[in-house]
Structure 1
Amino acid sequence: MRRLHNIGRLFTGTQAGVIEKAAIICDDDEHIAWCGRAGEEPIDLLGYVAHEDDCGGGLVTAGLIDAHTHPVYAGNRMAEIAMRTAGASYEEIAKAGGGIVATVKATRDASYKTLEKATGERLRKWLEGGATTVEAKTGYHLEREGELEATRILKRLSERDVLPRIEVTFLAAHAQPPDRGADLGKYTKQAASWCGDAYSAGARFCDVFCDRGYFSVSQTRRILKAAIKAQLIPRLHADELARTGGARLAAELHAASADHLLRANRGDAVALARAGVVATLAPGTALSMGRLPPVKDFLAAGTTIALGTDHNPGTSGITSMSVVVAMAVAVFKLSVERALLAATVGGAASVARLDRGAVAATMLADLVLWDADHEGAFAWSYGLRPLRVWRGGAQVLS
C-alpha cells in the first residue's frame, strides 16, 4: 500500500469538502482504501503501507477529467486559424476547403502506425496538466475502415498505464466526407451501420456533430439509436453553430452528454437537467468562436457541468485541464470550487464513470499534488503545475 501524507489541503469533491492536514492510503488494486485527517489512519491499514509520499503541505485533488477531445489527427490548420482571427466564420472556412475536411485529408494520408505514435505522444501531455482521464474521439477519416482503425488505436492506447485513462468515442458522424459524390443522407445510413463494429473495436461512446451544415436532428437520432442498439452510450455536439435542437435530442435520448451548447437557451438547460444529461463545456472553444454558452441558465436549472479542452487541430491546441479550470473561472464566471467540481465530479458524470472524480474510499487512486497550497491558485496561475500525478496509486508524473 501507499500513503500520501503531509497534505495541506485535500479537495475531495465530496460532501466532506476540503480536509486540512490530510492523508490518503491507496491499496494495491488502484483504489483509495482510506482518506481523512492525518493521524486518524486505521492502524490495521498502516501496517500494510510500504511506500510513503510526503506532499510537503501542498494541495491534492482527484485527477482532472477532460470530457471532450479530438486527439487522433495528422497535419495542422494554422493558416485557417489566422483566417478566423481576421473575421472568417466557421462555415466560410469550411466552404474554402478548410475545417474538418482539411484534417481528414491529412489524416487519411498518414499511416496508422504514424497516427498511433503521434496520438500516444500527444495524450501524454494531458498528465502535465493534471488530467488522469481523457474522453477521446475518432472523426478525421470519415470512412469505415479509417474510423474503426482510429477506434482500435485509442483502445490500444487506453491499455498503456503511462498515459491517462482513455474513454473511447466513435465519431464517424463528424462531417460529410470530402469524397466526390458524398451525400450526407447516404453517409448517415453508413455511419449508423458501423456502430456495432465500433463497439467491437473498443468504443464505449458514439458522438454525432448535430448542427447547422452538419447532421440534422433526424439524422443524428438515426445514428444514435443505432449506437444505443449496439451498446454504445450516446453523446453529441449540440447547438454550437446554431440552435438546431441538439440539446433537446440529447435529453430525449438520455445521452451521457451534450457538448458545446453555445446557442442553447434556458429551456434547453432545464430539459438537460431533467433528463440527467451533462453539459460539457469548452471555454477555449467558446472564446475562439466568440460566443459563450448560457452557464447561468445551466446552474439555475441544476444541470451538471463538465469541462473539456476540445483539443483539435482547428480551434483548440489546449492539452492542460489546469488551464481549462482557470478559463472556466475567468470566462464562465464559475467559482474555483465549481470549476474544480466540473473538472472532476462533472467530468466523471460526462464519461459515465462512478469510480473517479472524487477523493473517497473505494474510488480510483487517480490523484494530483499541485504546486500550490490552496485551490485558489488555479484562478491565479493560468496553468497551475502538477508536482506529482498518481494513476491508480502509481506515480506517472513527477
Structure 2
Amino acid sequence: MIKSTGYAAQAADSGLAPFSFERRDPGAHDVQIEILFCGVCHSDLHTVRDEWHNAIFPVVPGHEIVGRVTAVGSHVKKFMVGQIAGVGCMVDSCQHCGSCDEGLEQYCENGFTGTYNDPEKQTGGQTYGGYSNNIVVNENFVLHVSEKLDPAAASPLLCAGITTFSPLRHWKVGPGHKVGIVGLGGLGHMGVKLAHAMGAHVVLFTTSVSKKADALRLGADEVVISKDPEQMAAHLNSFDFILNTVAASHELDAFLVLLKREGTMTLVGVPEFPHPSPSVANLIFKRRHLAGSLIGGIAETQEMLDFCAEHGITSDIELIDIQDINQAYERMLKSDVKYRFVIDMASLTKEKKAA
C-alpha cells in the first residue's frame, strides 16, 4: 500500500483538514500519478457538506487532477513514467454495458466509480480524490495532457471543460450557429471559450452588468442582462442552442422562448432545489427540446483536451494553497473567484514541515 496525505472532511460540518490514508499499489493495468494541481469544483463543496445526502466520510474531494506519472503497471501501454496526465470525475465503470461499449462511461448502466466518495472495486474500500499528493487509477481512465497546456490552468478542464464541451459537441455546435451560455462562472466561462473556438456566434446571459467586459474578453460576441425584459425580448426565437450552466433554481421559460423552432436548451447544473416547472406550451409549439448532459466519456474527454491544446484554451484560475481551501469554499459560495480555484498540491509539504 502507498502512504498518502491529503485534506479530508470528517463530517458535514467539520471543514477540511489534513488526513493520512493509504492507496493501493499499482496493479498490472494501473497508473500511479504524483498530483501537481487539483481544481476546486462546486461538487466538492456539495459533497463534503453532504448537501446531496450521499457523502461517505471521511471525504477527500477533488476530480480535476493533473500530475506526473511516477509508476505504471506491467501491462500498461498508454502511459510512461514522466508524462503529464489527468484524471477527471471517473476512475472506473463496468466497461461492458451498452453505454460503456459506446464510450459513454459517464452513463454506465451499472454506475461509474467516482474519483471520490464511491466504493473502490479493487480494494473494497472507498475512493479518495485529488486533494492529495498521489492517486492510482486504471489506465483506461487516465488522460494525456499536452505539454502545450499550463498544467495548473488545465486541471479544471477535467470537469468544467468536459461538462461544457460534451453538450456543445453532441448538439453539433459550429459556424453559423447562434449559441447562448447562461451564467459566467466556472462552467460558463469555459462554455464561452469553447463555443467561440467552435466557430459559433456566442451570447452570454448574466444578471451582472459588471461581467460584460470579461465575457467579451473570453470570447462572447454579445452580452445580455437576463433580468432586463427588453434585452431578452430582442432575442426571441433566435437561438439554435443554449447551454445553461446555472446550478441555482431559476425560471427556465425565460430562456426556452429564445430558442428557434427545434432548438435545444441543455442543463448542466444540478440545483439544490428543483427548477419551477417550465410551460409545456413553450416546448410543444416550437418543437423545442429541454435536455441535460453529464460530463463526457473518456474518449470525448481526451478529444476535449486535444481541442484545448490545439486552440490554446485553459481555465481562468486563481492558484491557492491547500491550507486555504476552507476559505476558498466560502468565497466560491459568493462567486468571488474568476473563475476556478486550483490547488497547488506542492503546498501539502508545508504541513509536513510544520508538523
> Above 0.5 in TM-score?
no
Higher relative contact order (CA 8 A, sep 6+): 1
TM-score, L = length of structure 2: 0.30
Q: Which has a greater percent of strand?
A: 2
| TM-score, normalised relative to structure 1 | 0.27
**Which structure features the higher share of helix residues?**
1
